[in-house]
Structure 1
Protein backbone atom coordinates (compact mmCIF):
# COMPACT_ATOMS: atom_id res chain seq x y z
CA UNK A 1 0.00 0.00 0.00
CA UNK A 2 1.38 3.39 -0.97
CA UNK A 3 1.73 6.03 1.66
CA UNK A 4 -0.48 9.01 1.22
CA UNK A 5 1.23 12.36 0.97
CA UNK A 6 -0.02 14.86 3.47
CA UNK A 7 -0.67 18.23 1.93
CA UNK A 8 0.06 21.15 4.14
CA UNK A 9 -2.75 23.66 3.93
CA UNK A 10 -2.08 27.16 5.13
CA UNK A 11 -4.86 29.29 6.42
CA UNK A 12 -5.14 32.51 4.52
CA UNK A 13 -5.35 35.71 6.42
CA UNK A 14 -8.81 37.21 6.06
CA UNK A 15 -8.75 39.92 3.45
CA UNK A 16 -10.14 43.10 4.89
CA UNK A 17 -12.77 44.63 2.67
CA UNK A 18 -12.37 48.38 2.46
CA UNK A 19 -15.36 50.21 3.87
CA UNK A 20 -17.31 51.60 0.95
CA UNK A 21 -17.88 55.30 1.29
CA UNK A 22 -21.30 56.51 0.17
CA UNK A 23 -20.81 58.44 -3.02
CA UNK A 24 -22.88 61.32 -4.40
CA UNK A 25 -25.25 59.01 -6.28
CA UNK A 26 -26.21 57.18 -3.06
CA UNK A 27 -26.98 60.46 -1.33
CA UNK A 28 -29.17 61.65 -4.21
CA UNK A 29 -31.07 58.35 -4.28
CA UNK A 30 -31.58 58.46 -0.52
CA UNK A 31 -32.89 62.02 -0.61
CA UNK A 32 -35.21 61.23 -3.51
CA UNK A 33 -36.52 58.18 -1.64
CA UNK A 34 -37.32 60.16 1.51
CA UNK A 35 -38.83 62.98 -0.57
CA UNK A 36 -41.21 60.55 -2.26
CA UNK A 37 -42.16 58.97 1.08
CA UNK A 38 -42.76 62.37 2.71
CA UNK A 39 -44.68 63.71 -0.26
CA UNK A 40 -46.91 60.63 -0.34
CA UNK A 41 -47.72 60.92 3.36
CA UNK A 42 -48.43 64.65 3.05
CA UNK A 43 -50.66 64.07 0.04
CA UNK A 44 -52.57 61.35 1.86
CA UNK A 45 -53.11 63.62 4.88
CA UNK A 46 -54.31 66.47 2.65
CA UNK A 47 -56.70 64.18 0.80
CA UNK A 48 -58.17 62.91 4.05
CA UNK A 49 -58.44 66.40 5.57
CA UNK A 50 -59.97 68.10 2.52
CA UNK A 51 -62.12 65.09 1.76
CA UNK A 52 -63.65 65.34 5.21
CA UNK A 53 -64.34 69.07 4.84
CA UNK A 54 -66.10 68.58 1.49
CA UNK A 55 -68.59 66.05 2.87
CA UNK A 56 -69.63 67.95 6.02
Structure 2
Protein backbone atom coordinates (compact mmCIF):
# COMPACT_ATOMS: atom_id res chain seq x y z
CA UNK A 1 0.00 0.00 0.00
CA UNK A 2 1.37 3.42 -0.91
CA UNK A 3 1.99 5.93 1.77
CA UNK A 4 -0.07 9.07 1.54
CA UNK A 5 1.92 12.25 1.33
CA UNK A 6 1.00 14.71 4.03
CA UNK A 7 0.72 18.25 2.80
CA UNK A 8 1.59 20.88 5.36
CA UNK A 9 -0.77 23.79 5.32
CA UNK A 10 0.67 26.96 6.74
CA UNK A 11 -1.59 29.07 8.84
CA UNK A 12 -2.05 32.51 7.44
CA UNK A 13 -0.25 35.15 9.40
CA UNK A 14 -2.65 37.29 11.32
CA UNK A 15 -2.98 40.68 9.78
CA UNK A 16 -1.69 43.50 11.88
CA UNK A 17 -5.01 45.33 11.64
CA UNK A 18 -8.08 43.51 12.93
CA UNK A 19 -11.28 43.68 10.91
CA UNK A 20 -12.38 47.28 10.94
CA UNK A 21 -15.54 47.94 12.88
CA UNK A 22 -18.05 50.33 11.29
CA UNK A 23 -17.66 53.74 12.86
CA UNK A 24 -19.94 56.77 13.06
CA UNK A 25 -18.88 57.98 9.61
CA UNK A 26 -19.93 54.68 8.01
CA UNK A 27 -23.29 54.82 9.75
CA UNK A 28 -23.84 58.41 8.58
CA UNK A 29 -23.01 57.44 5.00
CA UNK A 30 -25.40 54.48 5.19
CA UNK A 31 -28.22 56.67 6.55
CA UNK A 32 -27.62 59.25 3.82
CA UNK A 33 -27.63 56.52 1.17
CA UNK A 34 -30.98 55.11 2.31
CA UNK A 35 -32.41 58.64 2.64
CA UNK A 36 -31.52 59.38 -0.98
CA UNK A 37 -33.01 56.07 -2.14
CA UNK A 38 -36.23 56.62 -0.17
CA UNK A 39 -36.54 60.24 -1.29
CA UNK A 40 -36.06 59.27 -4.93
CA UNK A 41 -38.78 56.60 -4.70
CA UNK A 42 -41.18 58.99 -2.93
CA UNK A 43 -40.52 61.70 -5.53
CA UNK A 44 -41.16 59.25 -8.36
CA UNK A 45 -44.46 58.13 -6.77
CA UNK A 46 -45.57 61.75 -6.32
CA UNK A 47 -44.69 62.63 -9.90
CA UNK A 48 -46.67 59.65 -11.21
CA UNK A 49 -49.66 60.36 -8.93
CA UNK A 50 -49.86 64.11 -9.60
CA UNK A 51 -49.16 63.60 -13.30
CA UNK A 52 -52.19 61.29 -13.49
CA UNK A 53 -54.45 63.80 -11.69
CA UNK A 54 -53.35 66.76 -13.83
CA UNK A 55 -53.83 64.90 -17.12
CA UNK A 56 -57.14 63.29 -16.11
TM-score for both structures, normalised by structure 2: 0.72
Structure 1's unaligned 5+ residue stretches are 1-10
Structure 2 equivalent of residue 47 of structure 1: 47
- Paired residues for 1:1-56 under 5 Å: 13-17=11-15, 18-56=18-56
TM superposition shift of 1:16: 2.6
- Alpha-carbon distance in 1 for matches of 2:13, 2:26: 25
Number of matched residues?
46
Compute the RMSD of aligned alpha carbons.
Answer: 1.6
Structure 2's unaligned 5+ residue stretches are 1-8
For residues 16-48 of structure 1, what are the alpha-carbon distances to aligned partners after superposition, in whole Å with 9 as ceiling and x for unaligned?
341210000000000000000000000000000
- Runs of 4+ aligned structure 1 residues displaced above 2 Å come to none
- Alpha-carbon distance in 2 for matches of 1:16, 1:38: 40
TM superposition shift of 1:14: 1.5
